[in-house]
Amino acid sequence: MSLPTARPLQHPLRSPSTARTRVQHLPGHRRRITIDHQPLPGITPAMVHWWFRHIGDPVIYADESMSGYLAWHPLDHIHWELARPAPGGGAGEGARFRIVEAFGRRPEFYVDTTETVEKLDETGIRLVRRVCGVPVLQLEHTWSHCGDRTHYVSVMDIGARSPLLTPVNRLLARRFPDRMAQAWIVHNIEEVGHLEHLLPELCRGRGVPIPGTAA
């Protein structure tokens, strides 16, 4: 898919300096990327949980109708679809998400991937890709109360633990090199930070409690 025209930025995106990040190179060509985000003010874990269950719903952003996914990162996001619904329907556990984006709007950092939602509740979401039943790519976002804010941590594990899949890990390292990992860090910090601006308006009137207001 081609990169669409950027949507307007209605709010400034967070800079990388707002988060604590770490990239670990592990045995067998595995890597782990951890992003400890600056807490999200005025956001609750229930609001983030609601967001991931409704990420493809239409929203009004910058006076235009679009999917919530496109509004989430107005510059980098290209497409989201529910490749397979959850057993109970919708975007819950067991669903498969197709995600298309380009970090920093750069074609060399283009991603078109489909992952299984193996966890989605009020504590976080885990997206996993498996080869022969073994996880080779896992992205987990966890969130929790932090006073009147939400503490949000993102961890991406690239590569399988099994020595038999070391060749797969080498392939992943070529397709997702360190410079692309750094671009993903910036992208993730920007999109997570954008939730503090998007979610209050989206959750209002949808039965999701918002701090300081009636549900």
**pLDDT higher than 60, residue 15:** yes
Closest CA to 37 of 121, 119, 142: 142
**pLDDT higher than 90, residue 81:** yes
CA max distance for the chain: 54
What CA–CA distances, in Å, run from 104 to 5, 60, 76, 107, 181? Answer: 13, 23, 6, 9, 12
Q: What is the pLDDT of residues 59-76, one digit of tens each?
A: 999 999 999 999 999 999
Give the HSE-up count for residue 28: Cα atoms under 13 Å, Cβ half-sphere. 16
**What span, in angstroms and rounded, lies between the C-alpha atoms of 84 and 138?**
18
Give residue 215's pLDDT.
42
**Orientation of helix 178-203 relative to helix 45-53, angle to 10°:** 100
Mean pLDDT of 149-159: 97
Mean pLDDT of 76-89: 97
Give residue 212's pLDDT.
58
pLDDT above 70 coverage of the chain, percent: 98
Label residue 214 by pLDDT band (50, 70, 90).
very low
Residue 110 amino acid letter = Y
Label residue 22 by pLDDT band (50, 70, 90).
very high
Taken in order 90, 92, 93, 96, the sign of the CA dihedral is positive
More confident residue, 131 or 185: 185
Mean pLDDT of 190-202: 95
CB of 96 within 8 A of CB of 114? Answer: yes
**What span, in angstroms and rounded, lies between the C-alpha atoms of 154 and 170?**
23
**What span, in angstroms and rounded, lies between the C-alpha atoms of 5 and 184?**
20
**8-state DSSP, 208:** -
